[in-house]
Amino acid sequence: DALLPAPQNITILSTNMKHFLTWSPVIIQGETVRYSVEFQGEYEREYANESWIPICECSLITATVCNITEDISATVAYNLRVRANVGARRSEWGALKGFFNRITTSLTPPLMKVIADGYHLLVELEDMGPAFQFCVLYWKKGQESRMQQKVVKEVSSVVHLDTMEAGPDYCVKAQTYVEAINRSSSFSQTQCVRAQGGTSMWLV
């Protein structure tokens, strides 16, 4: 039996603290190729004889992507590797070039909807999971120097920011903050609204 080629082009796609390992398929005519993935954290390298830990959800899978989010759960450097299997035949391990540290995940600005409900300024934020908090900035249009900030730790539909005076526009923008990696996303688009008696008014 010819040696099974190791998977190639092994890369990580990591956005908003969701991490996926992907690789190119190994093509063997007439055969179903399956793959197994293992990871190794800094702890394993320095304290546990460089041991590797299998990810059972990605053991003998046919897909060429594996969700490794659950296992990349510390802000340290991880090694990752993939092997191909056809029946009892196994390839060499194909390894990710270099380490992966979740601190490099790309953070996107949050989806946000600003609402004026009577004289009350409210914001609706997208639930991005327990790792995320939101820093919401709001100000009276033209008074950018007197910006106010609210940290929203738990997203529960409509969050009250403040009360508004009748007349001026109020503008809002938000960014995510991930404490585990101590990083923030860029800010969302600014949205402005204006208080109007008892009805909601949108001004973008």
Partner 1 sequence: SGELCCSLPNPKNVHFESINMKNVLHWSAPEGTGDGVLYKVKYLVYGAGKWIRKPECRNISRTWCDLSSETSDYEEQYYASVKAFLNGMCSDWMETTRFNPLTDTKIDPPTVSVSSTEKSISIILTAPEKWKRSPEGESVSLLQVYPGLQYNVSVLNKKTKKRWFFSISNNTLVVPWLEPGTAYCVSAQIHITTPLLHSGFSKEYCIATLNDKTA
Partner 2 sequence: LTAGNKIFHFGPCRVSISMTEIRSGFTAIKDNIQARDPIRTLSILSYPHSLHKVKSSDRCCVTHHLFNFYMDKVFKHCKTEDSYINRKISSIANSFLSVKRKLEQCHEQNKCMCGQESTEKFKQILVNYEGLNVTSAAIKSLGELDILLDWM
Q: Which of 28, 86, 159, 180 binds partner 1 (CB under 8 A)?
A: 159
Helices and strands in the chain, H and E counts: 1, 17
Measured from the CB atom, is 39 or 134 closer to partner 1? 134
Q: Which of 66, 72, 152, 178 binds partner 1 (CB under 8 A)?
A: 152
188: closest CA among 162, 154, 152? 152
Site membership for partner 1, residue 154 (CB under 8 A): yes
Burial of 165 (0-12, 13-18, 19+ CB in 10 A): exposed
- Cα–Cα distance measured from residue 128 to residue 155, given in angstroms and rounded to the nearest whole number: 9
**Total count of residues recorded for the chain:** 204
Interaction pattern, residues 83-122, with partner 2; x per rule: CB under 8 A: ----------------------------------------
Residue 129 binds which of partner 2, partner 1, none (CB < 5-8 A, kind-dependent): none
Dihedral (CA of 117, 123, 129, 132) sign: negative
Site membership for partner 1, residue 62 (CB under 8 A): no
Report yes or no: 70 and 146 within 8 Å, Cβ to Cβ.
Answer: no
Q: Return the SS3 of 103.
A: helix
Q: Which of 158, 186, 202, 203 binds partner 1 (CB under 8 A)?
A: 158
Binding site for partner 1 (CB under 8 A): 117-120, 122, 152-154, 156-160, 163-164, 198
Binding site for partner 2 (CB under 8 A): 41-44, 46-48, 53-56, 70-71, 73-76, 130, 133, 151, 153-154, 177, 179-180, 182
